[in-house]
Amino acid sequence: MITVSTDGSCLRNPGGAIGWAWANHDGTSASGGAPSGTNQVAELTAVLEAVLAHPGPEPLRIEADSQYAIKCSSEWVHGWRRRGWRTASGGPVQNLALVQAIDQAIRERTGPVTFSWVRGHRGDRFNERADELAGIAARAARAGTLPPPPTSAPPTPTVDSGATAPAVDSEATAPTVVDPVVAPASSADTRSNPGLVGEAPAEPVLVPASAAGTRSNPGLVGMDPLF
């Protein structure tokens, strides 16, 4: 069983710089960010990148403190797909591009993917690690110090300034929006949190959110009100 914690961060929701991160319980991790976004996009991006970074037949469990991200990825998605990607009321699915990308990644993975909710900011070692990395990425995105995206990646989109994003889950970390591109996972990422016993402090690898195809959509923000 592979267990990975995910988290997203938004410095000012909506529209502020965002960061996303996943932290494998074996010590590897990855993170990235974008100059603007929403908390929900950041949370969904963290889930997407975690699934994409862990292919193969071994069961994957994703632990997150965002109930919105978990329900989008494992519950609401089934009804949306059956209805042709519409809500129960016939309205559009918010953050559809990311939801579809997560759905496709999970369906194409040979091993099963399950989700587990954890209460944020309650001392869970790996949740705190993911939160730390997402915050670092968001601050780097705000400062413009993220590494440039790969030359093949499209430009990072911005969020519709007129859009609003309601609060989702009171336990989730700071809001976030991300256009993802996976930071390479490496064992060097055990390097980070000086507060984690047995780990050597070091800066994590940050990658700008950019991404291919369905990985993000600047016009998709907010939480779906009808399931």
Active site (catalytic) residues? 7-8, 43, 65, 121, 131
Phi, psi of 18 (to 5 degrees): -125, 160
Please say whether the dihedral angle defined by the alpha carbons of residues 39, 133, 107 and 26, taken in this order, is positive or negative.
negative
For residue 12, give the 3-state DSSP assignment: coil
Place of tokens 């100059």: 35
Please say whether the dihedral angle defined by the alpha carbons of residues 190, 203, 173 and 114, taken in this order, is positive or negative.
negative
- Cα 226 from Cα 96, distance rounded (Å): 14
- Cα 165 from Cα 41, distance rounded (Å): 10
- Cα 15 from Cα 38, distance rounded (Å): 6
Work out whether strand 29-34 and strand 18-24 pair parallel, antiparallel, or are unpaired.
antiparallel
